[in-house]
Structure 1
Amino acid sequence: MSNESRAEVLARLPLRDDLRGRTPYGAPQLEVPVRLNTNENSYDVPGEVVAAILDGVRQQARHLNRYPDREFTGLREDLANYLGHELEADQIWAANGSNEVLQQLLQAFAGPGRTVLGFTPSYSMHPIITAGTGATWVDGKRGKKVQPTDDPAQFDLHVEETVAQIKEHRPHVTFLCSPNNPTGTALDLEVVKAAYDATDGIVIVDEAYHEFARVGTPSALSLLEGRERLVVSRTMSKAFALAGVRLGYLAAHPAVNDAVRLVRLPYHLSSLTQAAARAALWHSDVLLDTVEVIKSERDRVVTSVRELGLSPAPSDANFVLIGGLNDEKAIWRSLLSRGVLIRDVGLPGFLRVTAGTPAENTTFLDALADSLLDAPVPA
């Protein structure tokens, strides 16, 4: 190897011009006692589910000389049964994490010469996946046109502003998030309906955190009937505590899945992934027991943070966006020095924390109270 830096060599490589100067996605992976920065489910997979997954994988292991079921038929049937809403297997698609699902959708419906609209702040992978597929990202904005405050409501998405931006930019694909990341707030379905009616393109509602929504929060799955360009994406990484399995999926008109088949790689879901995901779905009641505990803890974090004089968003996810911080970077560093890792999402005055176990949340809240003494909330 030469003494040249990797950056120097990268500069000489024939990289696509539109990728030069970009940085890859990455959340800090630091070894600290309390990690609450990546919205993982803090609870280990229950023993009976581990046993079922191992049994399913064991049955597949002897046949690994064969390619997996390319259409993952059994898994699609199980996912349709789990989602309900009278969905059928041919309306379901799955891939290695919801990011790959979204990538395949953009490969099919976006790409060079096409535009993708999202409303920031939102999931930071959406523009990265857009760039990776050669499409043009349009950075739409949330909230009404008011001066920024420490109130997370400034990031809400409203019908009028959403429709105006769609009509202005005429995107081929529009991203909506419900609950939104990093704000944690669910989306009024009137926004989804209005966005769909305002475009001839694909509308993707990213519902990665829907299982954590408060009681009565509707899903965009209820809007699929009669809307052939509407897609709802989900994941098993969060509520199912299977981030390590990498299984994301979507529900849409069967023709959308036909389009995705044109770009998917052959046999993209391994036999082992299919077996693990199906075993988990067969035990969904056990896995989802932790969801109610996490929701309760999330609400405790919201209440406790508010009592500290800060401005948390009322969350429908497994995390809380905290506003009202005078110096969010100083608070982040102070928390890290106390063994607690949360997420700086790049919003001045805000930080995001995952709702962990009761013990983890107590540690975070105590550390936050101490950190605020070092960098107090502005009067």
Structure 2
Amino acid sequence: MSTALTLDQLPVREELRGKSPYGAPQLDVPVRLNTNENPYPLPEPLVARIAERVAEAARGLNRYPDRDAVELRTELARYLTRTGGHPVAFEQVWAANGSNEVLQQLLQAFGGPGRTALGFEPSYSMHSLIARGTNTGWISGPRREDFTIDVEAAREAVAEHRPDVVFITSPNNPTGTAVDRETVLALHDAAQAVKPTMVVVDEAYVEFSHGASLLPLLEGRPHLVVSRTMSKAFGAAGLRLGYLAADPAVVDALQLVRLPYHLSAVNQATALAALEHTDTLLGYVDRLKAERDRVVQELRALGLDVTDSDANFVQFGRFDGPGGQHAVWQRLLDHGVLVRDNGVPGRLRVSTGTPEENTAFLEAVREVVGSTPDTDPERPGGEDRQKDKEQKV
């Protein structure tokens, strides 16, 4: 009788031993606000259009799909040109199964053994995970206490480590902070001064931003890449469609590492249908931005420290009492609300949901904050709340 092996008994690569896969808890609770999904289902006219396009694609499933996704990349280029403030040609666009595969292909082409990637943490944890998966060395760059990038310290890190790839996430996940164009330009120029370096601006949440896209910075900068996703603003997390804009030579490089026929005909058809309904879907984005701003305002009214957000989520805290932020995460879960503990000390992240979901979250926070010990005078409102508790006693 055979004995089942454990993961540690398998001959996996050493850098994978003891690691955990990426993933947020998937729990059956009334209010799930932990994965930055768009809470609005796709409108029925779009669902019908998807059915039409997929039915058409299904008639040809005995054949491989368009290997280069020409029609889809053309429509994505049109969308970027219309909304990004900069003309983008089909040859500059590449698409894959979610932005994670786009990022993986970038590191397969420009990272790998003997090469390194640098990111500014806390940031999107998949950057470092994909680096590890592609055997690319990972370097954690500095951020200030307010989670913005310290440009001078970042320049020094680039000069010291000489990375092959630099990741800049704007708006940043999990903090929600956007990066201004001057910072991106400074880091891009610092990197190129050392050696030819790919600089990847991850704009997964840019449609929710108060500011403009960094797409115009592509002009004259062949080592700059802007990556996007249809998971967030398009409300299509289940589609798994990511894309990027860059110099055509970058697209050529990614075709060296992409798997044959990597985008299915069904995925391409579904994405094309969604792009036909861009205006409707961006209308949902406007609703979510308004709700995000309401959540920020009400959390601050409760005396919590809330990071400025340009995304469809909000980072809030600080929770420095017994158990830290994870204890507060559990108390919120006990109230039927699931948020995200990203491991940022004293902070949690909440996705923007429907008005009803956001109200339920805020009511849970009021209950939890009122029962959470807090003697930290550095936390906004913490000292006053502690005095109030002492007076009541």
**Residue of structure 1 aligned with 2:222, choices 224, 228, 232:** 228
Please tell me the residue identity of whatever aligns with 2:111. A
Structure 1 residue 376: Cα displacement: 4.0
Percent sequence identity is: 58
Distance 1:102 1:210 in 2: 17
Match of residue 175 from structure 1: 167
Contact 1:189 1:218 in 2 (8 A): no
Q: Is the 8 A contact 1:67 1:267 kept in 2?
A: yes
- Would the aligned equivalents of 2:119 and 2:166 in 1 still touch at CA under 8 Å? yes
Q: Is the 8 A contact 1:310 1:325 kept in 2?
A: no
Question: Could you tell me whether the CA contact under 8 Å between 1:95 and 1:249 is conserved in 2?
Answer: yes
Matched residue, 1:253: 247
Q: Is 1:77 equivalent to 2:74 in the alignment?
A: yes
Question: 1:210 maps to what in 2?
Answer: 206
CA–CA separation in structure 1 for the residues paired with 2:8 and 2:325: 34
Contact 1:330/1:375 (<8 A) preserved:
no
Is it true that 1:136 corresponds to 2:142 in the alignment? no
Contact 2:38 2:232 in 1 (8 A): yes
The answer for the alignment partner of 1:371 in structure 2 is: 368
Q: Structure 2: how far apart are the matches of 1:237 and 1:31? A: 21
Equivalent residue in structure 2 for 1:304, among 293, 298, 305: 298
Query: After TM superposition, what 4+ stretches of structure 1 lie above 4 angstroms from structure 2?
Result: 1-4
**1:14, distance to aligned residue in structure 2 (A):** 1.6
Structure 2 residue 60 is the aligned partner of structure 1 residue 63: yes
AA partner of residue 208 (structure 1): A
Displacement of 1:159: 2.0
Q: Is the 8 A contact 1:224 1:252 kept in 2?
A: yes
Distance across 2 between alignment mates of 1:173 and 1:218? 24
Name the amino acid aligned to 2:202.
D
CA distance in 2, matches of 1:209, 1:2: 48
Is the 8 Å Cα contact of residues 344 and 350 (structure 1) preserved in structure 2? yes
Tell whether the 8 Å contact from 2:142 to 2:150 is kept in structure 1 after alignment.
Answer: no
Q: Cα RMSD (Å) of the superposition?
A: 1.1
Mapping 1:1-379, distance limit 5 Å:
2=2, 4=4, 6-7=5-6, 10-84=7-81, 85-143=86-144, 153=146, 155-199=147-191, 200-214=196-210, 217-326=211-320, 327-378=324-375, 379=383
The one-letter amino acid paired with 1:336 is L
Aligned 8 A contact 2:65 2:263 in 1: yes
The Cα shift of 1:331 comes to 1.1
Contact 1:309 1:377 in 2 (8 A): no
How far off is 1:289 after superposition?
Answer: 1.0
**What's the offset of the Cα at 1:142?**
0.8
Conservation of the 8 A alpha-carbon contact between 1:310 and 1:377:
no
Residue range with higher mean Cα deviation, 319-328 or 63-72: 319-328
TM-score of the superposition, structure 1-length normalised?
A: 0.94
SS of residue in 2 equivalent to 1:198: helix
SS at match of 1:369: helix
Cα drift, residue 323 of structure 1? 2.3
1:215-259 Cα offsets, whole Å, 9 max, x none, are xx1222010010000000000000100000000000000000100
CA distance in 1, matches of 2:333, 2:172: 25
Q: Matched residue of 1:245: which SS? A: coil
* 8 Å Cα contact 1:49-1:280 kept in structure 2: yes
**Aligned residues, how many?**
365
How far does residue 201 in structure 1 lie from its aligned partner after superposition? 0.7
User: C-alpha separation between the residues in 2 aligned to 1:78 and 1:23?
Assistant: 37
Secondary structure of 2:262's aligned partner: coil
Q: SS at 1:322's partner residue? A: strand
Separation in 2, partners of 1:374, 1:330: 12
Take 1:13 and 1:136, find their aligned partners in 2: how far apart are those partners?
A: 23
Task: Supply the AA of the counterpart residue of 1:40.
Answer: E
* TM-score of the superposed pair, with normalisation by structure 2: 0.91
Q: Residue deviations 1:112-134, cap 9 Å, x none?
A: 11001011000010000000001
Instruction: Report the Cα distance in structure 1 between the residues aligned to 2:27 and 2:2, rounded to whole angstroms.
Output: 30
> Alignment partner of 1:45: what SS?
coil
Shift of 1:187: 0.2
How far, CA to CA, are the matches of 1:186 and 1:377 in structure 2?
30
CA distance in 2, matches of 1:280, 1:93: 17
Please give the alpha-carbon distance, in whole angstroms, between the structure 1 residues aligned to 2:262 and 2:318: 45
Could you tell me how far apart the structure 2 residues matched to 1:102 and 1:337 are?
A: 36
Equivalent residue for 2:388?
Answer: none
User: Secondary structure at the residue paired with 1:223?
Assistant: helix
Amino acid at match of 1:180: N
Tell me which amino acid in the other structure corresponds to 2:98: G
Q: Structure 2: how far apart are the matches of 1:288 and 1:376?
A: 41
Question: SS at the partner of 2:176?
Answer: coil
